[in-house]
Structure 1
Amino acid sequence: MTFDAGNNNDNDSAAALVLTLHGLNDTQANRHAYFAVTLLLYSVTVLANLTVVAVVLAEKSLHEPMYAFLCNLCLNGVYGASSFYPKLLHDLLADAHRISYGGCLAQIFGVYSYVFCELTNLAVMAYDRYVAICLPLKYHAIMTPRWVGQLLLLTWSVALLESVVGVALTSRLPLCRLHVRKMFCTNWVVVRLSCADTTPNNVYGFVLVVCHLAQVLLIVVSYAHIIGTSLRSVAGRRKFFQTCLPHLTTLAVFTLSLMFDSMFSRYGSSIRLQALSNLMAAEFLVVPPLINPLVYGMNLQRIHTQVLRMLGSNKVQTLT
């Protein structure tokens, strides 16, 4: 049985549509256990990311371009996690897993703007490391506070603009079905619910893929130069391992997570184990925001030292 929302041109009527999410059907028996684990993951993700941001803001010696981009990465991680976890926590305790069409579009906007911001920010961080290692004498002349601010503004502006256009293209489609075969809304899943022509959506998706592949190419070229320069001296190799290895780890984690989501979009319907399907579908929203601050906190000595110093001072205050 299908439902056609295209017969009514009233926007209020379309906004009143309610979609049913099917990704949590097998969690009812252990809902409280799943809720506790999910709440713990969300809490640790938010706490870890905000701790890194607080450390950078509090320590004046860390007020450098690299750490500004790191703060942006952590804040984006909190933003991405917050577009996913609160609704999931609600649904884990609810008997019915539903979301309004407007809420679904809002979640799509949050999820995809997080993804686009992450990719752009990783490209900017690669550019920053390229200038620092390959053009060290010109670093402070190039990476001025004004230019850093413009890069941060560009990162968010591009992500938000791309997401607005994508959501606008999706919102114009009439829906023929109201059942989402995932535990959260994604653009492609909702587009597939329509019985109308989705060519504009497909073309726009292709354009986005090309644009972000160009960013990946920028990262690859940057690191080709970085590695070539780093191999020429011991100091260069040390700087590479201290500041570039965390970035490469973050890039690898995020890329693999997106690949898992892509695999789920293609082959998720053939996976019978619901828990595995959910893991593949949501990994890019769960793993990178959780891992990124831990990777940088352990590998960047100045971040690591300041965190330990903060924890040590808190222990002293508690004892006194």
Structure 2
Amino acid sequence: MIMINSTQVSYFTFGAYFDIGLFKYLLFLIFLCFYAVIICANLLLIVVICKNRSLHEPMYLFLVSLFVNELYGSTGLFPFLLVQIISDIHNVSASLCFLQIYCVFAYGTIEIINLSIMSYDRYLAICYPLQYNTSMTSKKVTMLITLTWLFPLIEVAVTISLSAPLQLCGNIINKVYCDNYSVVKLACSVTTVNNIYGLISLCLIVFGPLSLILYTYMKILKVCFSGSKQTRQKAVSTCTPHLASLINFFFGSFFEILQSRFDMSSLPVMLRIFLSLYFLTCQPIFNPLMYGLQMSKIRSLCKSLVFGEM
């Protein structure tokens, strides 16, 4: 490990990469294909929803926000990752590293808040169908989407402003991309403020949205058990893709937290890399496929657009 006597570093080195020879070109093509699929799938659904006025409803507008975030998050990872895979020296400048931390951290925060607001929207639609249009007005939708993006972007900016000035005693990050917690662990200076702010942020961006999600789904389940067959069918059709997206997101987040907070050196290197990237690669692929396949209205309009019938 390169030791730096309590100073700010100009670059970081990724310690999770290892020599895979010519296999790196195959890996490069695989991740390039992943990125292409993410771009095409999410852009297609954004265009379909924006182009069709029949889809200009709160549920679909929240989906647009979700798909835009998938594009944002994957763009914060994949171009950077592709360059690192093909490179022989896995270094990155400190400024570019903090830029990636900002993109990745903001992506995760926006994702969980967006999913929680979507659960609130489904709660109103299923539990209060007659009052839904008066409750979920266009003004309210605009405000919720604005808060979904504005709060994380400000919150993460504060996180970076606390991490960037830290005096570091090392510059090796044991991951394949930049991570704020990994940088803070390298600090020689006191990180009390970082830790306190991180704890407050964790409560706000994890426990807050998670509490809302649990509350809304408890209410939805209560209505389903006591409601009509038509109500249950509506709940299943609209909540299934959202629930699947939630499970996939928390599954990836769980492994990301485990790998950041605990020693996972006993696991094979390739498995550790896969688990660290699952959070940032599978969700942007999973969401457009899940919503595109499960929602018949979106599915039929996608076919029309692709085959030129629109």
| Same fold (TM > 0.5) | yes
Match for 2:297 among 279, 298, 302?
302
Answer whether contact 1:27 1:34 (CA < 8 A) is retained.
Answer: no
Gaps of at least 5 residues in structure 1 are: 7-13
Query: Which whole-Å CA distance do the structure 2 matches of 1:109 and 1:27 have between them?
Result: 29
Corresponding residue number in structure 1 for 2:216:
222
Answer whether contact 1:173 1:196 (CA < 8 A) is retained.
Answer: yes
- Is 1:175 aligned with 2:176? no
Query: Which whole-Å CA distance do the structure 1 matches of 2:61 and 2:263 have between them?
Result: 38
* Deviant stretches of 4+, over 4 Å: none
Answer whether contact 1:28 1:92 (CA < 8 A) is retained.
Answer: no
Please report the TM-score for the alignment, with normalisation by the length of structure 1.
0.92
Match for 2:284 among 271, 281, 289?
289
Answer whether contact 1:113 1:160 (CA < 8 A) is retained.
Answer: yes
Deviation at 1:269, TM superposition (A): 4.3
Matched to 1:217, the amino acid is S
Corresponding residue number in structure 2 for 1:45:
38
Query: Which whole-Å CA distance do the structure 1 matches of 2:266 and 2:61 have between them?
Result: 41
Q: Which has the higher mean CA deviation after the structures are superposed, 179-188 or 258-267?
A: 258-267
Instruction: Kindly report the root-mean-square deviation, in angstroms, between the aligned alpha carbons of the 2 structures.
Output: 1.5
1:188–1:155 Cα change, 3 Å: same
Q: Per-residue displacement from partner, 1:238-283 (whole Å, max 9, x unpaired)? A: 1111111111110010000000111212345413522111111111
Aligned residues: 307
> What secondary structure is seen at the aligned counterpart in 1 of 2:92?
strand
Query: Which whole-Å CA distance do the structure 2 matches of 1:124 and 1:54 have between them?
Result: 22
Match for 1:68 among 61, 68, 86?
61
Corresponding residue number in structure 1 for 2:271:
276
- Is 1:101 aligned with 2:94? yes
Gaps of at least 5 residues in structure 2 are: none
Deviation at 1:23, TM superposition (A): 2.1
Match for 2:306 among 311, 314, 318?
311
Query: Which whole-Å CA distance do the structure 2 matches of 1:271 and 1:89 have between them?
Result: 26
> What secondary structure is seen at the aligned counterpart in 1 of 2:88?
coil
Query: Which whole-Å CA distance do the structure 2 matches of 1:112 and 1:38 have between them?
Result: 21
Q: Per-residue displacement from partner, 1:76-135 (whole Å, max 9, x unpaired)? A: 011111111001101111111111111111110000000100011011101111111111
Please report the TM-score for the alignment, with normalisation by the length of structure 2.
0.95
Query: Which whole-Å CA distance do the structure 2 matches of 1:5 and 1:267 have between them?
Result: 25
Corresponding residue number in structure 1 for 2:240:
245
